[in-house]
Amino acid sequence: MRTELEAYTKVICGSYRSDCPFIIYIRKENCHSKAGRAWEENMNVLVVNCGSSSLKFQLINYDNRDVLAKGLCERIGIDGRLVYQKAGNDKEITEASMPTHKEAIQMVLDALRFDECIRGADLIITGEGKLDKQTCMGKTPCGVLQAGMRQGIPVIVMGGSVEEVEALNKSGFLAVLPLLPYPVSLEQAMDKDFTCWNIGRALEQQLRVIQYYMNH
């Protein structure tokens, strides 16, 4: 039987792209190896790709790689439109004001009922390629942080490049963690295998600490 650390690591690495934010939430009762695959069968990963005036997203089931929902926020900063499609359903189009990406990611989280998904979670881990002051200005991890804070759930954020750690902590993140263990070229940093190895290494170290405190 795989340990929960190996399983959580695989969840992240199996669905992660180096340029996209990701979200994973953990419940304490799922942090014991006796839970087996029970938690894994219900694990969904939200992947977001932000452009200058758009935001694309997919909600993917880890176990079978099915796309449960997908969509697009477009014309951000102009007028705003959310195109949302749940698997097996027709597209839903909502016209709404989106002055910044902050409003866009909130609309995505609302459409996916994210507040309901994280209810009862003990910890949320999220991340993106680069963490800096702009992260606090409405990018995906900021939206996740606000959702966690509303329910009193701590949020850890991970990034390939990390700047302004103090500002990120002040905004509410419990911890801000870099993925790269040493300086690398852009080509190496964008390599999928190298990226997955870094995420797995960093995530395993976090979960070792989490598991220790949950078991004591």
Write the CB contacts of 213 (distance below 8 Å, at least 6 apart in sequence). none
Q: What is the pLDDT of residues 32-79, one digit of tens each?
A: 433 333 334 456 778 888 888 999 999 888 778 889 999 999 999 999
SS3 27: coil
CA distance 125 to 107: 20
Q: What is the pLDDT at residue 11?
A: 38
Q: What is the pLDDT at residue 42?
A: 55
Write the CB contacts of 157 (distance below 8 Å, at least 6 apart in sequence). 125, 126, 127, 128, 131, 135, 141, 145, 168, 173, 175, 176, 177
**Whether 51 contacts 85, CB under 8 Å:** no
Higher pLDDT, 12 or 146: 146
Number of domains in the chain: 1
Tokens of 97: 């004001």
Q: What is the pLDDT of residues 124-151, one digit of tens each?
A: 888 888 888 888 877 888 889 999 999 9
By DSSP bridging, strand 175-178 and strand 81-86 are unpaired
Lateral strand order in the sheet of 92-95: 92-95, 81-86, 67-74, 54-61, 44-50, 22-26, 123-131, 155-162, 175-178
SS3 150: helix
In this prediction, residue 212 has a pLDDT band, given cuts at 50, 70 and 90, of: low
Q: Which of 4-8, 11-15, 92-96, 117-121 has the highest mean pLDDT?
A: 92-96
Identify the domain containing residue 209 by its residue range.
Answer: 4-214
